[in-house]
Structure 1
Amino acid sequence: MNEESPELRFGVPVWASLLGWALAIGFMGFYFHVAHAVMRGLAPSFGIDSGAIATATFGTIAMGLGIVWLVFIAELPEMWFLHRRPHRLVKDGRCPMCGHPVRAAGVNKCGECGADVDHLPPSYAVGWRAVKRFCIALALAFLVGTISAEIVIAADERSMRSTVRSMNSQAGITATGKPLEITFSRRWPASFSRVDWNSEFGFRAVPIFSYGPGR
């Protein structure tokens, strides 16, 4: 009686799974970072402004709809190791488990590991598991992106305050007797956003639609 081939058990290396999650969260996190920074620039404010932060957050969530097509991104390692790679090895005449040549001997079983060459996993298809993983990666990326954007914005505003302090402008009067004024540009990607500082009124975010020579 012939022994049956052991059931093929394809797996994903831990390093590949971790790398896939890191790339998914990193890529989408960068997207949310840019989106949140842009939305904060469109809702001008200076300092901690809960209204502006809430408005930017809702805008960032809306912009997240632009990456729903990346539903498979968290499963890239599975797509390769569990589906694409085994089929590719068999097509090249090799064992889908260990890569040992088998077709050259005209057999369907691997002489190295005993795997059945004809027992292959189905082609990849997006399912509930992919959607669930994508939602988890999306939520983590949203947190990473928005928090990192707020940290960069806070650092940018600290730099503006430091610049003003270094100018030693306590008197607030220029040589012409007028209050001192400075205009700052925020860091990329919100470099289109401006912040004015006046020695009498302090910092004030400038609405983007008020730009121009007549402002």
Structure 2
Amino acid sequence: MTDGSTEPRFRVPTWASILGWVLAIGFMGFYFHIAHAVMRGLAPSFGIDSGAIATATFGTVAMGLGIVWLVFIAELPEMWFLHRRPHRLMREGRCPACGHPVRVAGVEQCGECGGDVDRLPPSYAVGWRAVKRFCIALVLAFLVGTVTAEVVIAADERSMQSAVRSLNSKPRTSGSGEPPNLTFTRRWPASFSKVEWNAESGFRPVAIFSYGPGR
């Protein structure tokens, strides 16, 4: 967005501004959601684990550096309505502000909106206001993505606990012994991560990487 003031007659429709913000936050938020869920799957934990959440958050920030350019989606409405569209209308012989035909030679003002037909807004340039909006969109998308990922992870773990409670509530015949060991697979996109359960140790995430003997 340009730092200089733009003529009042050149405006971005409210619906276009909202759509730009929704698309920017939606696309980036979805990416952050996937990145955070994957990082949580790579850091074996079960339940609320501040260390695992902090590690996953740091990894999500690092993975998010590659999509910073997506914040420009929020600027697309302004690029079009305040810069690209007026130039196109002027080339077509129409008022750059309202689009009213002004092909008559010597006409300096639009008969519809009263604006100068040969006056265009300044070219688009990334200024301080644009950077500020980029940062706001990026932070909001990060919060949306990581929070929704944690909500989905918590719901997934509750479903595992519910399955175990359901198993334990079933009557056992004499000699059936302890409940069997169970292995759960986390939801996508962390479906590569597994959680084991047994009556002795409860829930235990399976380590993805092993650097020593055993798992």
Shorter-chain TM range is: 0.7 to 0.9
Tell me the equivalent position of 2:153.
Answer: 153
- Asked whether the 8 Å contact 2:168–2:179 carries over to 1, the reply is no
Distance between the aligned counterparts of 1:199 and 1:162, measured in 2? 14
1:3 corresponds in structure 2 to: none
Q: 1:172 to 1:56 in 2, by over 3 A?
A: farther
Matches within 5 A, 1:144-183: 144-168=144-168, 177=177, 180-183=180-183
Q: Which runs of 5+ in 2 are unaligned?
A: 1-6
Q: Residues of 1 paired with 2:21 and 2:176: CA distance?
A: 59
What is the TM-score with the length of structure 2 in the denominator?
0.86
CA gap of 1:88–1:147, structure 2 versus 1, over 3 A, is: same
Q: 3-state SS of the aligned residue for 2:209?
A: helix
Give the C-alpha shift of residue 73 in structure 1: 2.3
Contact 1:194 1:205 in 2 (8 A): yes
- Any conservation in 1 of the 2:35–2:63 contact (CA below 8 Å)? yes
Match of 1:197 in 2: 197
Q: Which amino acid in the other structure matches residue 183 of structure 1? A: T
- Deviant stretches of 4+, over 4 Å: 169-179
TM-fit CA distance, 1:71? 4.2
Residue matched to 1:75: 75
What CA distance in whole angstroms lies between the structure 1 residues aligned with 2:123 and 2:201? Answer: 65
- The answer as to 2:47 corresponding to 1:47 is yes
Give, in angstroms, the shift of residue 176 of structure 1. 7.0
Gaps of 5+ in 1: 1-6
- Cα distance in structure 1, aligned partners of 2:20 and 2:137: 10
Q: Tell me, in whole angstroms, the C-alpha distance in 1 between the residues paired with 2:174 and 2:17.
A: 61
Distance 1:149 1:199 in 2: 28
CA-to-partner distance for each residue in 1:5-57, whole Å, 9 max, x for gaps? xx663111222212211221111111111110010001010001110000001
Cα distance per residue 1:135-163 (max 9 Å; x no partner): 01111111111111000000000001111
Q: Which residue of 2 aligns with 1:11?
A: 11
Kept in 2: contact 1:8–1:115 (CA 8 A): no
Give, as a single letter, the amino acid of the residue that structure 1 aligns with 2:73: I
Q: CA deviation at 1:174?
A: 10
1:140 counterpart residue number? 140
Q: Secondary structure at the match of 2:183?
A: strand
Which whole-Å deviations, capped at 9, do the CAs of 1:63-99 have from their partners, x for residues lacking one?
1211122342221211111111111111222111111
TM-score normalized by structure 1? 0.86
2:119 aligned partner: 119
- Report the CA distance shift for 1:57/1:172 in structure 2 as closer, same or farther (over 3 A): farther
Closer/same/farther in 2, CA of residues 62 and 200 from structure 1, 3 Å limit: same
The separation in 1 between residues aligned to 2:175 and 2:119, in whole angstroms, is 85
Contact kept in structure 2, 1:71 and 1:131, CA below 8 Å: no
Higher mean alpha-carbon deviation, 163-172 vs 83-92, is at 163-172
Distance 1:8 1:198 in 2: 68
Q: How many residues align?
A: 205
Tell me the C-alpha RMSD between the 2 structures.
2.3
Is the Cα contact below 8 Å between 1:40 and 1:52 reproduced in 2?
yes
Distance 1:10 1:16 in 2: 14
